[in-house]
Structure 1
Amino acid sequence: MADAGVPAGPFDRAMVIFNPGRAGMGTRIEALQRELATDLPDLSVELLPTEYAGHARALARIEAGRGAPLILSVSGDGGYNEVVNGVMDVPGSKAVCTVIPAGNANDHFRSLPARTLSGALTEKTVRHIDLLRVAFRSGSREQVQYAHSYVGFGLTPLMAIGIEKGGKGKVLELVSVARTLRRLEPFELVRDDGATAKFDSLILANISRMAKYGTVSESQYPDDGRFEVVTLPHAGLTKMALMTLRAVTLGLGHQPSVRSYAFSTRNAVPCQIDGEIVHIQAGTHVRVDSAKGALATV
């Protein structure tokens, strides 16, 4: 690993960000409070329930701007994405983040080496992992967002939409994926050198697993300053189905890794960032860079 961890200074407080409307969250928060009281008895713990979409980012931004908080996101990938972006909104922040899995997929948590919160707090080490810096530019306007796990175009966001509409549960979700494959339309990208390519799927991955069942890379540690590029050129339904089957069984194996990847969209295309869907307009320039060691975590 690029960073073996450095001794952590004492956190001045712990901030727990969570969605109180999620089923079973009350019990989960009570258990977390007991765990923190046991492992860090002198640490002040404050609960920060969210009230609307995007609120977790606003809360994390406020807390990251003062002191040295330990910010615990009790959430899935989307909620943790908000927290990570809130911290990244504050340059030079001393905040340390971690996620307590409480979502549907929890791809980020599942892709990292197994560890318990108790063990991480006992070790008192802070590690720095990479993020994906995603910049969308249309005309003179640029929007920047960070991803802790992956950015997907084409098949992956449509799979997420299909799963959301089709219902939860492994069988229902796999049926929804199969239905999604039949509706997929290819999209065309233009590289900065002018070359064009037509894809069914493009994934830029900072982790090894995504969408609960798929192994897209053999990379285990998101701290090497690179990310994997998983492409499926337009080839029709059969090849897409075979790729999806391989991802959920054997995995896709080793993939090429890069530090940066850039292109412009020829047509409108859905994009998935850590589980959240963003619709990209035609003519948008997209640049993804590895932000090495950008996130402090336990």
Structure 2
Amino acid sequence: MSELSRVVVVLNPNSTGDGPSNARGLRDELDGVVDVELVETQHAGHAEDLARDAVRQDPGTLVVSASGDGGYHEVVNGVFDAGRGMAAVLPSGNANDHATAVQERPLGEAIRAVVGGEPVTRMDLLEVSGAGRRRVAHSYAGVGITPVAAAALNEHDLDAVKEAQLVVRAFWRYRPLTITHDGNDISIDSLVFANIDRMAKYAQLAEGSAPDDGRYETLLIPHRSKLRLVLDFTRVLRGAHPVRSRSEPYEFTTHTPMPLQLDGEVFHVDAGSSVTVRCLPRALRTVL
């Protein structure tokens, strides 16, 4: 008997991207295979509530986010918070890093296979807690210039020259951050925690990393100079910057307020906040 009893597709009706049309296409493709319901978000954060309510109503629900990585972030948190159900992404954004990294076949084909008896897949999640907040990330979390610059590139459809200009502006305005880790104060330009091997379409983090291995990768760029930062960022784009694979939690304390990016979504962390990042092995049930 299949673990999947129905599909709920969450979409933003005001999206200028492919989400609404992709959602309708998936519904038509699965007609006669499994019940599919389309639900529309009304405001920021609504996808998380819709996902949580859907799986609480029926634990066999697969909640599909017809969006990019940010929309999927909300759906994953709703499903995770409910402690049941499944989540998947129907890639409809600009970068679609998560889908590119993990999906080996079209989502409709994968859903058909699970309805036919194929088991669902379990994947790791990153848990980020601190400052009175607890979130999970399906792909990456980060502070500093790398997630900021990568997200800026992700938001624009530019040619190579304009992309370079955008990066230069972001780097020129950037100021280093200071954290305390293992009792040491560290001035950093970037700190990224990754569950997949890429970030925001351009940045290559760790070739060969797997989102179900019970580990995550950390990329740390200490502060040196503007020129060195640009060189380090180009190494990240080429996948040449060293990373460290770890299974143990990473704890740090912020010295100044700083933006924290989770799957492209931005959350602000106050100065003096203690933040812990850990891997939650096989915490998400999904369809690939």
CA contact (8 A) 1:227 1:290 kept: yes
3-state DSSP of counterpart to 1:202: strand
3-state DSSP of counterpart to 2:13: coil
Q: 1:211 aligns with which of 200, 215, 224?
A: 200
Q: 1:33 aligns with which of 27, 33, 41?
A: 27
3-state DSSP of counterpart to 1:89: helix
Tell me the percent identity. 37
Structure 2 vs 1, CA of residues 11 and 229 (structure 1 numbering), >3 Å: closer, same or farther? same
Aligned to 1:270: 259
Rounded Cα–Cα distance in structure 1 between residues aligned with 2:87 and 2:74: 12
Flag structure 2 segments of 5+ consecutive residues without an equivalent: none
Partner amino acid, structure 2, of 1:252: H
CA contact (8 A) 1:110 1:209 kept: no
Q: 1:51 aligns with which of 39, 42, 48?
A: 42
Give the superposition deviation at 1:168.
Answer: 3.0
- Deviating more after overlay: 19-28 vs 45-54: 19-28
The within-5 A match list for 1:174-253 is 174-191=164-181, 193-252=182-241
Count of residues in Structure 1 that have an aligned counterpart in Structure 2? 280
Aligned to 1:256: 245
Rounded Cα–Cα distance in structure 2 between residues aligned with 1:283 and 1:129: 32
Aligned to 1:96: 86
Rounded Cα–Cα distance in structure 2 between residues aligned with 1:161 and 1:149: 14
Aligned to 2:55: 64
Give the superposition deviation at 1:157.
Answer: 4.0
CA contact (8 A) 2:150 2:202 kept: no
- Deviating more after overlay: 167-176 vs 125-134: 167-176
Runs of 4 or more, structure 1, over 4 Å off, are 160-165
Q: 2:77 aligns with which of 85, 101, 105?
A: 85
Structure 2 vs 1, CA of residues 257 and 10 (structure 1 numbering), >3 Å: closer, same or farther? closer
Give the superposition deviation at 1:220.
Answer: 3.5
Deviations 1:19-39 (A, max 9, x none): 1111244432222112222xx
Structure 2 vs 1, CA of residues 122 and 161 (structure 1 numbering), >3 Å: closer, same or farther? closer
- Deviating more after overlay: 49-58 vs 25-34: 25-34
Aligned to 1:18: 11
Partner amino acid, structure 1, of 2:13: P
Rounded Cα–Cα distance in structure 2 between residues aligned with 1:59 and 1:133: 21
Q: How does the TM-score come out when normalised to structure 2?
A: 0.90
Q: Is 1:155 aligned with 2:145?
A: yes
Structure 2 vs 1, CA of residues 36 and 259 (structure 1 numbering), >3 Å: closer, same or farther? farther
Flag structure 1 segments of 5+ consecutive residues without an equivalent: 1-7
Deviations 1:154-204 (A, max 9, x none): 113432564488x4335334421221111111111112x422111100001
CA contact (8 A) 2:215 2:247 kept: yes
Partner amino acid, structure 2, of 1:114: E
CA contact (8 A) 1:108 1:207 kept: yes
Give the superposition deviation at 1:128.
Answer: 0.6
Q: 1:283 aligns with which of 269, 272, 277?
A: 272
